[in-house]
Each structure stands twice: as C-alpha cells, then as structure tokens.
Amino acid sequence: MRIMCDTNVLLRAFLTPAGSAAELLKTIAAEHLLITSQFQLAELLDVLRRPKIRALHGRDEEGIRRVIAQVYKLAVVVPLPADVPAIVPGDPKDNPIVMTAVAGNAEVLCTLDKHLREATVAAFCSNNGMRVVRDAELLAELRARESE
C-alpha cells in the first residue's frame, strides 16, 4: 500500500519512539511504501527546529538532520507540481501535503489534522483514489491485515 503520513504523524513517531505513531511508521517502512516530498521534509525540519518541539525531543542540529535523513531513506520522495491547487480551505499550508499524496499515488493519507478530514478535502482525495484516515485507524487496519 502507498501511504502518505502527514507531518504531524511523522513528528509524533519521532517524539514518542515507543508510541503508536512510531509503530505505524515502522510497519509502513517494513511492508508498504511511505510517500513524502521535499516540501514535507522541509516542513518537518522546520517543526523539529522550533524551540518548543526541540525541548521535547532534545536533539541538536545534527540529530534533527538525522531524523530528516531517516525519513528520506524510508520514503519515496515525489515531486510536486509547479502550481499547487487550492484544496484545503481551512489551512492552505496543507495544500502541498495533499498534493504530495496525489503525486505519489497514495492510497491513504494518514493525518490527525482536522482540515485534511473536511468533507471537501476527503472528496478530493477520494476522487484521486485515496482515503483520509487517522493514524490509530490505519494502525488497527494494518495490524488486522498482519493477523490474517
């Protein structure tokens, strides 16, 4: 399965290595394709550098760059179109996230972001062959597949 994890899911995976987001990321890396883009990697880098977030993870600049390199190695990095359309009315900064999933032919966009689960965004994603789900839902689904 081709899966795009929103930046908030990736961040949770690195802030809580023993948590469910980290388990989800490990499962995706082992059995599926993780989709990302240079935009998302830059966004994750920016978030990891924020003082409040840095206080949570305690990594220095080299450690932060290792996190980005780890995601880069785990994922298929797809290019974004030159013109990213307006898809997410509640948060236009999320438009490149949705377009990363579309460009990567993702079947699932995994997010905790309420703007990405709005009806118009979900319809756009569905029209592009993709479901929008929370990380806990996706993890439960992948666990169920493993036990079959």
The confidence score (pLDDT) of residue 73 equals 94
Alpha carbon distance 13, 148 (integer Å): 26
Give pTM, 2 decimals.
Answer: 0.92
Q: What is the pLDDT of residue 121?
A: 94
Q: What pLDDT sits at residue 85? A: 84
Write the CATH number of the domain with boundaries 2-147: 3.40.50.1010
Query: Dihedral sign, CA of 44, 28, 92, 113?
Result: negative
**Segments making up each domain of the chain, as ranges:** 2-147
Secondary structure letter of residue 10 according to DSSP: H
Residue showing tokens 């469910």: 20
The pLDDT of residue 124 is: 94
Residues 6+ apart with CB under 8 A from 43: 7, 97
Q: How does pLDDT run along the chain (148 residues), one tens digit per residue?
A: 999 999 999 999 999 999 999 999 999 999 999 999 999 999 999 999 999 999 999 999 999 999 999 999 999 999 998 888 889 988 889 999 999 999 999 999 999 999 999 999 999 999 999 999 999 999 999 989 877 7
Please give the angle made by the CA atoms of 21, 61 and 68, to the nearest 5 degrees: 40
Task: Check residue 147 and give its pLDDT.
Answer: 76
CA 62 to chain centre: 22
Do 20 and 136 touch, CB atoms closer than 8 A?
yes
pLDDT at 82: 83
